Amino acid sequence: MATCYSYCPNCWYDLSGEAASWSRLEPARCPMEIMCSECGQTSASREVVWPDSRLPGFWEHEPRERLVGAFVRTLGWLAIPNRFWGRLRWHHEVRPARLVGWVLGVPIVLLVLAMGVRALSFVWLPLRGIADRLNPSYHASLSDIYTLPFGTHSQFGYDWSDAYFLLVFTLLPYMVMALVYPAALLAWFAVWRDAMRAAVVMRAAPYGLVIFILAALIELGYSVVVTSRVIVQPVTMVGSRGVDEVFVNYALWRGQLSASQPMSYLKHYFFYVYMIWLAWYWHQAMVVGCKMRGVLWAWALLAAAMLAVGVGARIAVVFLPPLF
């Protein structure tokens, strides 16, 4: 009757021997409850021997047709790490493809949607007769569709590499900071050969990189706002300058928003909010997910290391652009 899942849900103590002893009972039977001899907690036998391998509503376990709802629900759980780790258990099936999709697939899809929203204005305005497709300004402005997000000023005339480096140097400190906890914990569990806790950390790491999804969501909302202004309040060519004010207006709105809100927030305020959230998230991962005891000192030490690495990365990126 014992299976590879015969562990205490509270402390992970191996209860395979206890479960195997049920076959020697007279008559052989499966008790409704089992008490852990290590921590003393009483659990339902089905949670020890035959736990459900899927978590309803979770990103990794929902079918494709319900992925959007699972994404929103999982993102809501992550907003409060106690809710996320209060639901996720060690016996829930790990799906590596879904983890890769969370880190890379979802942000790429959101950025492609943002590009589609920006492209809408370039399709709509010529159809309305407001912009001339033969105008050089129209062709020069098309780069706004394809450049990567969070330009510090108008994207008008920017090269792809400008926006690319800006994005990388903005997100790099976040990424480096998010890897401090999993790198240290994986090294620790490798020394102690604790494969089960290492598996929990490897699953937790991709969800800790939720900043990529938040950045893509900001860009999508940003593109919707700017493109809506262009479509709702279009202007025509002005005087002898021969400049298509539609795209100047578009560029100016991108510049105003990026200078005052999304880029500024991502560079400054979000950094510290994300740092606090990350420390909270990994505290729950260590205590609830990995069932580690007396981890306050280790958690505090890693939090200090995360702060030093994050701030150091922010300072470093200031000097990196000239090298390229």
Give yes or no for a contact between 181 and 208, defined as CB atoms under 8 angstroms apart.
yes
Give yes or no for a contact between 15 and 6, defined as CB atoms under 8 angstroms apart.
yes
- Tell me what pLDDT residue 313 has: 87
Q: Is the full-model pTM beyond 0.95?
A: no
Strand partners, 238: 243
Q: What 8-state DSSP symbol labels residue 93?
A: P
Residue 201 has pLDDT above 90, yes or no: yes
- For residue 203, give the nearest of 96, 282, 131 by alpha carbon: 96
Q: How far, in Å, CA of 235 to CA of 13, rounded?
A: 70
Per-residue pLDDT tens over the stretch 116-141: 887 887 777 777 776 667 776 666 66
Give yes or no for a contact between 35 and 56, defined as CB atoms under 8 angstroms apart.
no
List Cα–Cα distances, 315 to 212, 308, 309, 319, 320, in angstroms. Answer: 20, 11, 10, 7, 9
Q: Which backbone phi and psi does 2 adopt, to 5 degrees?
A: -70, 145
Q: How far, in Å, CA of 222 to CA of 217, rounded?
A: 8
Average the pLDDT over 242-269 and give the result.
Answer: 50
Average the pLDDT over 147-166 and give the result.
Answer: 49
